[in-house]
Amino acid sequence: MRAFLIIGNKAVTKPFKLNDLPGAGRIDILCRCVAQALFVSHGIRRDVEVYLLLLGPPEPPKAVKITGYEVRRMSPDERNIAGHLRKALSFKADENWREVGSGVYISKKGLVDLLEELSKRYEIYYLREDGRDIRSLAKSMRNPLFILGDHIGVKGEDEEVVMRYARELVCVSPLSLQADQCIVIVHYELDRI
C-alpha cells in the first residue's frame, strides 16, 4: 500500500462553489493531488489511499479519506473530484470515519488523530526540500505514507506534530515543486523498483 496525506491550510470545511475552487481555500490543489495519487492511464491505483486534512473555515479540522480500492465514478478532472469533496462536506462529521460515497469518507479528525491512526499501518515520510533524496530511499520503503503541504506548506505547529511521527524527511526534486507534482514523482520512483 501507498498513501498520501495533504494538508490544506485554508481549504474550506463546508460545501463550496465548483466554479471557484481556488477561492475555496485552494481546493483545486487538493483535487490535483487526489488525481495524481489515484489515477493512471485508463485506471485507478487500487493500492493507494489519499487523506486530505482541511483546515479552513468554518469548522476545521475535517479530514477526507479516499480509497483507491473502493472509489467509483471518479474521474481525474478537478471539477469531478471537487464534486466528491463538496458532497462529503455536506454530511455531518464526527470523530469516526463516515462513508459518504463509494470509497469516500469524512471525519472531524485532526492532524494528531490522523497520524496516530495512520502510523499503525504506514511508515510516515515527510516531503520537504531539505530531506533525503527519494531515489536513494525508495527501495527500502514498505507501506509508505507521504505528508505534503499545499501552497503554504506545513505550518510550524503542525510540522512539530509531523516530525514526531515521521521516520524520515524526503526530497523529490532539486526544484521547489507543487504538491501534485511531488506525488507523481513519488509514484514514479516507487514504480521503477
Give the nearest distance from C-beta 102 to a copy of itself in angstroms. Answer: 19
| Distance in angstroms (rounded) separating the CA atoms of residues 42 and 48 | 16
Closer to a copy of itself by CB, 140 or 173: give it: 173
Tell whether the torsion through CA atoms of 78, 80, 82 and 85 is positive or negative: negative
Residue of 14, 70, 80, 117 that binds a copy of itself (CB under 8 A): 80
Distance CA 51, CA 103 (A): 12
Which one of 86-94, 102-110, 115-123, 172-180 is the stretch in contact with a copy of itself (CB under 8 A)?
A: 172-180
The 10 Å Cβ neighbour count of residue 113 is 15
C-alpha cell at 1: 500500500
Q: Kindly indicate which of the ranges 36-44, 55-63, 93-101, 102-110 contains the residues binding a copy of itself, using the contact rule CB under 8 A.
A: 36-44
1 binds a copy of itself (CB under 8 A): no
Return the number of the residue (30 or 54) whose C-beta is nearest a copy of itself.
30
Q: Angle CA(59)–CA(64)–CA(69) in degrees, nearest 5?
A: 170
69: contact with a copy of itself by CB under 8 A: no
> Pick from 75, 90, 140, 143: which binds a copy of itself (CB under 8 A)?
75
Determine the distance from the C-alpha atom of residue 192 to the mean position of all C-alpha atoms in its chain, rounded to a whole number: 22
Size of the site for a copy of itself (CB under 8 A): 34
Span of 102-110, 119-127, 158-166, 167-175 interacting with a copy of itself by CB under 8 A: 167-175
C-alpha to C-alpha distance for 86 and 79, rounded to whole angstroms: 10
Residues 191 and 153 sit within 8 Å (Cβ to Cβ):
no
Closer residue to a copy of itself in complex, CB, 80/119:
80
Closest CA to 126 of 142, 143, 107, 148: 148
Based on the shown chain and the rule CB under 8 A, indicate whether residue 15 belongs to the binding site for a copy of itself.
Answer: no
DSSP tag of 167: S
Minimum distance of a copy of itself from residue 79's CB (angstroms): 7
The Cα–Cα gap between 169 and 173 comes to: 13
**Residues in touch with a copy of itself (CB under 8 A):** 18-19, 21-22, 28, 32, 35-36, 39-43, 75-80, 151, 172-178, 181, 184-185, 187-188, 191-192
